[in-house]
């Protein structure tokens, strides 16, 4: 193989090893001045590239943030895209500055690639949460304030982050759910559509008057101002069960009024049925005792 010619740095190193007198040292300094000047100039330009490149990266990132702020994009995704853009731009600036110092950028890129692969393998779970977080922020199956059931948990959404979603349970517990668990399962958003239907079933005895039961149920629904007129509530005889005649009552309400209406209507049915002489059946068992005389 053909031998490569020694570089200027290698020649200076060899000369330093052969210094035997002050005259040789002075000659070495004089011969090294051009090399030091070139290196200092490269350091200067590398610093210029770094600081000017960082300034440009900051301005471009700020411009990107301003442009995204004018769209209907979630703040979380907006900040993530800006941070990602700034990271990529700074990586390009650092590589350009290192290249100006005479370092082989190909080897630097290879090191970054190997490090990225190792980190990716070590953080597979976190990366899946990250990918799921990006999808949640991008497609917005829920937002802060919605009451959802997802990932085996239920609660009001307190915060949507890139890796996790924070819920507040009805009994005031803070629940942090990994985003991958949410995206890998079914998401039920109870407040996304603004209104909900309250499904109730009430029964009366077979001996009671059906028309009276209809009238009482209609009065209860009409008296509650939280119940919407459109869609119209449904009241119908639905089932002739083993021990009761069952009516379905299905009023529509705003999502925030769901449990209030549910509990209030249930209480009023009990009170009004009692006042109207209607009986609400409950499970009973008759025991017959037979005595045998020996």
Residues in Cβ contact with 66 at an 8 Å cutoff, skipping those fewer than 6 apart: none
Tell whether 249 and 216 lie within a shared domain. yes
- Residues in the chain with pLDDT < 70? 1-39, 72-77, 80, 103-126, 284, 286, 294
What phi-psi label fits residue 16: left (phi over 0), alpha (psi between -120 and 50 degrees) or beta?
Answer: alpha
- Evaluate whether residue 112 is within a structural domain: yes
pLDDT of residue 6: 47
- Evaluate whether residue 131 is within a structural domain: no
Residue 189's alpha-carbon distances to 5, 142, 150, 241, 294, in angstroms, are 71, 7, 9, 33, 69
Q: Which of 170, 189, 208 is the last residue of a domain?
A: 189
pLDDT of residue 2: 45
Sort 13 into a burial class: Cβ within 10 Å, 0-12 / 13-18 / 19+: exposed
- Evaluate whether residue 16 is within a structural domain: no
Q: Which of 174, 189, 204 is the last residue of a domain?
A: 189
Residues in Cβ contact with 67 at an 8 Å cutoff, skipping those fewer than 6 apart: none
pLDDT of residue 79: 72
pLDDT of residue 127: 74
- CA proximity to 191, closest of 255, 242, 109: 255
3-state helix, strand, coil in the chain (%, to 5): 55, 15, 30
Tell whether 26 and 116 lie within a shared domain. yes
Residue 154's alpha-carbon distances to 25, 71, 92, 139, in angstroms, are 79, 30, 44, 20
Tokens coding 260? 């209030």
- Evaluate whether residue 294 is within a structural domain: no
pLDDT of residue 284: 67
Tell whether 210 and 244 lie within a shared domain. yes
- Please count the residues of the chain: 294
| CATH of residue 211 | 3.30.70.100
Tell whether 249 and 208 lie within a shared domain. yes
Q: What is the largest CA-CA distance in the chain?
A: 140
pLDDT digits (tens, 9 = 90+) for 123-177: 455 677 778 887 887 778 888 888 999 888 899 988 887 788 899 998 899 999 9
Which domain range does residue 113 map to?
22-122
Structural domains in the chain (count): 3
């Amino acid at each position: 193989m053909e031998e490569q010619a020694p570089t200027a740095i290698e020649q200076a190193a060899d000369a330093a090893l052969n210094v035997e007198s002050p005259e040789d040292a002075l000659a070495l300094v004089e011969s090294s001045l051009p090399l030091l000047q070139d290196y200092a100039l490269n350091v200067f330009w590398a610093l210029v590239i770094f600081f000017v490149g960082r300034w440009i990266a900051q301005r471009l990132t700020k411009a990107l943030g301003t442009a995204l702020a004018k769209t209907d994009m979630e703040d979380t995704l907006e900040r993530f895209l800006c941070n990602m853009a700034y990271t990529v731009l700074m990586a390009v600036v650092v590589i350009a500055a290192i290249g100006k110092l005479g370092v082989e950028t190909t080897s630097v890129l290879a090191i970054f690639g190997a490090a990225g692969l190792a980190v990716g393998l070590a953080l597979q779970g976190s990366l899946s949460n990250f990918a799921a977080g990006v999808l949640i922020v991008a497609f917005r199956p829920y937002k802060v304030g919605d009451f959802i059931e997802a990932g085996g948990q239920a609660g009001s959404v307190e915060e949507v982050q890139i890796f996790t979603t924070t819920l507040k349970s009805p009994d005031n517990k803070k629940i942090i759910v990994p985003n991958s668990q949410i995206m890998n399962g079914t998401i039920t958003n109870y407040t996304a559509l603004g209104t909900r239907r309250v499904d109730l079933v009430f029964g009366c005895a077979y001996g009671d008057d059906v028309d009276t039961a209809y009238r009482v149920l209609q009065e209860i629904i009409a008296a509650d101002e939280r119940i919407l007129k459109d869609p119209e509530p449904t009241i119908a005889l639905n089932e002739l069960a083993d021990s009761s005649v069952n009516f379905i009552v299905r009023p529509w309400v705003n999502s925030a009024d769901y449990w209030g209406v549910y509990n209030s209507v249930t209480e009023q049915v009990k009170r009004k049925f009692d006042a109207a002489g209607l009986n609400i059946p409950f499970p009973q068992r008759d025991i017959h005792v037979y005595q045998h005389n020996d």
